[in-house]
Structure 1
Amino acid sequence: MIKPLRGMKDLTFEDSRRFVHIVTTAINIAKRYGYSYIETPILEETALFRRSVGESSDIVGKEMYRFEDKGGNDVCMRPEGTAGIVRAFVSAKLDRQPVKQKFYYYGPMFRYERPQKGRLREFHQFGCESFGEASVYEDFTIITMIGQIFDELGIGFDLLINSLGCPECMPPYKQNLVGFLTDISPELCEDCNRRIGTNPIRVLDCKNEKCQSLLESSPKLISNLCEECDTDFLKLTALLDKAGISYTVDTNLVRGLDYYNKTAFEFVSNEIGSQSAIAGGGRYDKLVEYLDGKPTPAVGFAIGIERIMELVQMPEVDREGYYMGALVPEAVELLFALAAKKRQETKVTVEYNSKGFKSHMKGVDKANARFALLIGEDELKNGTVWVKDLETKEERTVPFDEV
């Protein structure tokens, strides 16, 4: 028997119902905030992610499904969604239009990493990207939207926030950080030592417990922000306070991608083990420009769907539609005309085999249908149909043409 590859998982039965519920809920809320749907290819040029996500990131350095196609092109399966959305934004020349653009997306992403609870090699994200709005009010609005999505899904969360500064305040901070990291480099892990020379900010994202304890006394970017970044961050915290949204300032929160600046945030849950992030994002004002577009401020987020699957409170499903069955073989084909008519307005399940009454009623329950519609020998002779409403328990026999 051929099984799914390691780190890949089928979505069936209750999982598929839960998946659709999550995506539908998120889409409905995103639309209320003015977002429209965008779809980008799963396969992209590797250069897109090397330039955007960053050479020093684990995603590019270790985790991408990368290969050379038959045309000799260096391509990879997308490991995240934002870079592809920005590429599409620039390709369509939307960066040259004065109108602000807002997009939502969902779909599979791919990273070759060790599979664990809530983290697969093929996983799904729902995300939103907002282009053209530089105001910190947009950062606050996006955080509010994520909170609303989780509230409607019945998921509890904690919010972590930080500021990653801008090209003005980042260089002097990096210099201070490199000095600190160099002094403690003999005690840091191999990955951290490599990152000191490539992108020292990535060291703060290390998951090694020993490294994290050493970094507790590291210089904090939030204490070295320029006036504009400091003002924006104070405004964001004030907005969150006023809205009654609890948060923690995590000075080591840098996210795993190189394109973020200013606001960075994560939504975390202690109900899914050590890998606690369930959503994250932030501002990336330079990414459109990095990908050859016109300078455009932008902010966005992504929710890991598999990360929240077990946390979602599913609503009870009401009985819906019709179950149609025949008690005698001669009546089976009569069901199709009725089904065709009713399928214009509701869900219909048709049982092709004639069965006894009790068997059909079990079928009604399995289909979770509200109405049972059966044709037996008497109904066939009289041109009628037996109908039962499973909610009100009302039963009646009606002429075939009046169903």
Structure 2
Amino acid sequence: MINALRGMKDLLENDGKLYKFIIDTCEKVVKNYGYEFCEVPKLEETALFKRSVGQSSDIVGKEMYQFIDKGGNDVCLRPEGTAGVVRAFIENKFDRAGGVRRYFYHGSMFRYERPQRGRLREFHQFGVECFGEASVYEDASVILMLNEILNTLGIKTTLKINSLGDTQCMPIYKDKLIKFVQNNTENLCQDCLRRLQTNPIRILDCKNENCQNILQNAPLITDNLNQICNDDFNKLQEILKANQVDFQIDPKLVRGLDYYCKTAFEFVSNDIGSQSAVAGGGRYDKLCEYLGGKSTPAVGWAMGIERIMEILRQQQKETKRQGIYICALNSNLIDEIYKIGKMLRKNYKTEISYEAKSPNKHLNIADKKGFEIFLCLGEDEFSQNQIWYKNLNNKDEKRISIANLESEI
């Protein structure tokens, strides 16, 4: 049998419904903010991502699905969405046309990394990109938009924000950071030593505990902003407060990509293990220029669909269980549970298992399918005209008289 590749997952049945529900929710919100759908290729020249995402990023350094095609072209599957949309924006000469353009997209992204909960090698993102609007009000709008989506989906998150400065204040800050780090290199990990030579700002993003301990006393970008960046950052906070959006300022938030400037933000959740970002973005005013286009202010965000799906699955298990799963431990009891199940179906959604399995195997099936009530008949119970009952919401379990089953449920 041929199986799906490691880190690649099918979207079937409930997963397919959940994926579609998330996409539909996102689309409804972003369209009200004036964003229009766009689609760009999943396969691009590798140079696009090396130039945009940055040589210092883990994506370019370790994770891209890169290969030489039959025509001798160096290509890769897209690891993120923004670069391709920017490339399309420039290629269609929209950078020369002026005005403001707002796009949304969704689809597969690819990164060769260790598959884990909420993180796959082929994963899906929903993202938005706004071109031609330099006002910090647009930064606030994309955050408010994303906040509205997460609230609509019923997902609790913490918003973290930072300012990465601009081409005037960032170089000054980088010099200060480099001097600080160079005096503390003995315990830095190999990745940070490499970043020190390529893009020192990315050292702040390191998850290594030793590196984080060293960085506790590092200079902060928020203390080194010029007047324009500082005013914009203060205005962003003012707008968020006026719209009752709670946030935390995280001076070490730099995101995982090299192209951000000024506003950077992440929505993080504790519901998928250790605190993880489920969505994030920021401003990238120089990216169009880096990719050969006319300098164009831009801001956007991307949301990880699999991470959102993982949270919603947990919520469904906890709060949206429904129906009855009835099963037998012995094949000679199938007729008995069939009679009981037929009776229950008059008032309840009921699934009858026609196979005799161990209690644990039956329980796993009922749990995965999201049933609320688990009923299981064994020889012991049958001899006493009883059935074993378990509530998969509150974990209560007991034996119930079959004659009183409906009233007990």
TM-score (norm 1): 0.78
Cα shift at 1:273: 1.2
Q: Distance in 2 between matches of 1:99 and 1:202?
A: 33
Instruction: Write out aligned runs for 1:44-193 (5 A).
Output: 44-193=44-193
**What is the CA distance between 1:62 and its match in structure 2?**
0.4
Q: CA deviation at 1:274?
A: 2.0
Following TM superposition, the consecutive aligned residue runs of length 4 or more in structure 1 with deviations greater than 3 angstroms are: 313-316
1: CA distance, partners of 2:215 / 2:119: 26
Matching residue of 1:257: 257
State how far apart, in whole Å, the 2-side matches of 1:310 and 1:290 are.
36
RMSD (Å), alpha carbons: 1.9
Once the two structures are superposed, what CA deviation does each residue of 1:279-323 show, in whole Å capped at 9, x if it has no partner? 00000000011111111100000000001102236798xxxxxxx
Q: Which amino acid in the other structure matches residue 67 of structure 1?
A: F
Aligned counterpart, 2:223: 223
* 2:240 matched residue in structure 1: 240
Task: Give secondary structure in 2 for the equivalent of 1:262.
Answer: strand
Residue correspondence of structure 1 range 366-385 to structure 2 within 5 A: none
Amino acid across the alignment from 1:292: G
For 2:216 and 2:232, locate their aligned partners in 1 and report how far apart those are by CA, in whole Å. Answer: 25
Tell me the residue number matched to 2:374: none
The correspondence of residues 294-305 of structure 1 with structure 2, limited to 5 A, is 294-305=294-305
Q: Aligned-pair distance for 1:113?
A: 0.5
1:275 positional shift: 5.2
SS of residue matched to 1:255: coil
Matched position secondary structure for 2:296: coil
Q: Which residue of 2 aligns with 1:204?
A: 204
Q: Is the partner of 2:293 in helix, strand or coil?
A: coil
Q: Helix, strand or coil: the match of 2:281?
A: strand
Structure 1, gaps ≥5 residues long: 317-357, 367-403
TM-score (norm 2): 0.77
Match of 2:16 in 1: 16
1:92-146 alpha-carbon deviations (Å, 9 max, x no partner): 1111122210000000000001111000000000000000000000000000000
Question: Distance in 2 between the 1:289 and 1:250 partners?
Answer: 28
- Counterpart in the other structure of 1:37: 37
Once the 2 structures are TM-superposed, how far is the Cα of residue 243 of structure 1 from its aligned partner?
1.3
Q: Match for residue 293 of structure 2?
A: 293
- Give the letter aligned to residue 158 of structure 1: T
Tell me, in whole angstroms, the C-alpha distance in 1 between the residues paired with 2:198 and 2:185.
14
Deviates more, 1:16-25 or 1:307-316: 307-316
Aligned-partner Cα distance in 2 for 1:218–1:187? 14
Code of the residue aligned with 2:292 in structure 1: it is D
Aligned to 1:4: 4
- Cα distance in 2 between the residues matched to 1:43 and 1:243: 39
Tell me, in whole angstroms, the C-alpha distance in 1 between the residues paired with 2:22 and 2:210: 37
Cα distance between partner residues in 1 of 2:144 and 2:121: 29
Which runs of no fewer than 5 residues in structure 2 stay unpaired?
321-341, 351-409
1:207-259: CA deviation from partner (whole Å, max 9, x where unpaired):
11221121111110110001100000000011111111110000100000000
| CA offsets 1:326-351 (integer angstroms, 9 cap, x no match) | xxxxxxxxxxxxxxxxxxxxxxxxxx
* Counterparts of 1:117 and 1:134, CA distance in 2: 37
Q: In the alignment, which residue of structure 2 is the partner of 1:336? A: none
Partner of 1:328: none
> CA separation in 1, counterparts of 2:275 and 2:243?
28
- Asked whether 1:281 is paired with 2:281, we answer yes
SS in 2 for 1:39: coil
- SS of 2:123's equivalent? strand
Q: Partner letter of residue 220 of structure 2? A: K
Q: For 2:32 and 2:86, how far apart are their aligned partners in 1? A: 22
Tell me the equivalent position of 2:268.
268
1:197 to partner: Cα distance: 1.1
Q: Distance in 2 between matches of 1:100 and 1:298?
A: 9
Q: Which residue of 2 aligns with 1:195?
A: 195
Count residues in correspondence.
324
Q: What is the aligned partner in structure 1 of residue 28 from structure 2? A: 28
